[in-house]
Amino acid sequence: MSNHNFPALDASALVDTRDACHAYASVLGGWTTSCRQRRKHWWQLSLRPSLQGVTTGMIHANGVHFELGLELATNQVRGDIAGGGQFSETLGGQTAEELGDTIREFLTSGGVDQRFVPDTDSADGHEALDGSVRAGYSAEIAASFAQTWRELAAAFTDFQAGTPEETSPINLWPGHFDMAMMWLGGEKIPGQDPADEEYSDKQMNFGFSFGDGGIPEPYFYNTAYPLPDAFPGLVLPGDAYWHSEGFNGAVLRYRDLINQQDPHAALLELWHFLLAAGREHMLENAKGG
């Protein structure tokens, strides 16, 4: 039996909680955006998995060091300032705008300069939360999100450990509310400006979403840039399939994964299959070129 415990997720029941947590994550993402210097592939914008949910990690704002976290396992948002104050608040009874106001007051009263305060008018997700979360938000479902991210982070960590090429941090992207890891093959795409890594790096993304407008249920995905011509013709392991509406890539529905005897091993099998295909079809060095 597997020691890994991906929880059951009811796609029809999680929407309100997912959208609320997405909006709350966008509030935290506003602070990573306003306080951090740019990293390649925009990694500075993302959140990181934590034991209880996701966190900004340590943020430095002109001598003030702080951290914000969505501790969905206990249905709390938490803030800490080094050598200063702490706050926590139960989630689900406030809009993202209200949460943003609370965090701004906490951080600025703790010494964070006003110039680091995010522009909430452009923060993703705020407008989607107002009014809807109060009726449909579930602390139990939020806790299942934290559990899913823990199991996913464990799988990503095992995957990274056996991958010699560069990989990104394990990122929770507030904009799309997906957790993902990027693989970089170490080669540039001919004809692209090598200084613009977003478009010049050969890359693959391995990720997970709780569902969206394109696929309205939790799913795993893999994309490759540039997409090799051979990819859509590859026979994928298990129940994974090639998806072509909205994006081109491999998809595995979450419900199909957790029906496996060992979901962790099945997910790694899929990822290793795709990575081997990426090396073979994307990298000139792998072809002996």
- Dump the DSSP string for the chain: --S--PPP--TTTSHHHHHHHHHHHHHHHHHHHHHSPP-GGGGGG-BEE-SSSEE---EEETTEEEEEEEETTTTEEEEEETTS-EEEEESSSS-HHHHHHHHHHHHHHTT--GGGS--GGG-TTHHHHTTTHHHH--HHHHHHHHHHHHHHHHHHHHHHHT--SEE---EEETTTTEEEEEEEEEEEPTTS-TT-HHHHEEEEEEEEES--SSS-S-EEEEEEESPPTTGGGSPPSTT-EEE-SSS-EEEEEHHHHTTSSSHHHHHHHHHHHHHHHHHHHH-TGGGT-
What does the pLDDT read at residue 132? Answer: 47
**Is residue 10 assigned to a domain?**
no
Per residue in 248-281, pLDDT (tens digit) is 999 999 999 999 999 999 999 999 999 999 999 9
Q: Is the domain of 29 the same as that of 131?
A: yes
What does the pLDDT read at residue 284? Answer: 82
Q: Is the domain of 127 the same as that of 191?
A: no
Q: Is the domain of 24 the same as that of 88?
A: yes
**Is residue 184 assigned to a domain?**
yes
Q: Is the domain of 91 the same as that of 190?
A: no
What does the pLDDT read at residue 30? Answer: 95
Q: Is the domain of 267 the same as that of 203?
A: yes
**Is residue 143 assigned to a domain?**
no
Q: Is the domain of 183 the same as that of 131?
A: no
What does the pLDDT read at residue 126? Answer: 44
Domain limit, last residue, from 136, 164, 185: 136
What does the pLDDT read at residue 279? Answer: 96
Task: Grade residue 134 by pLDDT with cuts at 50, 70 and 90.
Answer: low
The rounded percent of the chain whose pLDDT value lies above 70 is 92
The rounded percent of the chain whose pLDDT value lies above 90 is 87
What does the pLDDT read at residue 286? Answer: 65
Judge whether residue 4 has pLDDT over 80: no
Residue 204: domain span: 177-287
Judge whether residue 115 has pLDDT over 70: yes
**Is residue 7 assigned to a domain?**
no
**Is residue 158 assigned to a domain?**
no
Task: Grade residue 124 by pLDDT with cuts at 50, 70 and 90.
Answer: very low
What does the pLDDT read at residue 129? Answer: 42
Domain limit, last residue, from 136, 158, 185: 136
Per residue in 148-175, pLDDT (tens digit) is 999 999 999 999 998 999 999 999 999 9
Q: Is the domain of 131 the same as that of 224?
A: no
Q: Is the domain of 114 the same as that of 27?
A: yes
212: which 2 tokens?
């969206």
How does the average pLDDT of the chain come out, rounded?
92
Q: Is the domain of 283 the same as that of 194?
A: yes
Q: Is the domain of 24 the same as that of 120?
A: yes
Task: Grade residue 67 by pLDDT with cuts at 50, 70 and 90.
Answer: very high
| Mean pLDDT of the region 67-83 | 97
Q: Is the domain of 198 the same as that of 94?
A: no
**Is residue 48 assigned to a domain?**
yes
Domain limit, last residue, from 136, 163, 198: 136
| Mean pLDDT of the region 33-62 | 95
pTM above 0.85, yes or no: yes
**Is residue 117 assigned to a domain?**
yes
Judge whether residue 133 has pLDDT over 70: no
**Domain tally, the chain:** 2
The amino acid that residue 35 corresponds to is C
Q: Is the domain of 30 the same as that of 126?
A: yes
What does the pLDDT read at residue 84? Answer: 85
Task: Grade residue 289 by pLDDT with cuts at 50, 70 and 90.
Answer: very low
Per residue in 175-223, pLDDT (tens digit) is 999 999 999 999 999 999 999 999 999 999 999 999 999 999 999 999 9
**Is residue 269 assigned to a domain?**
yes
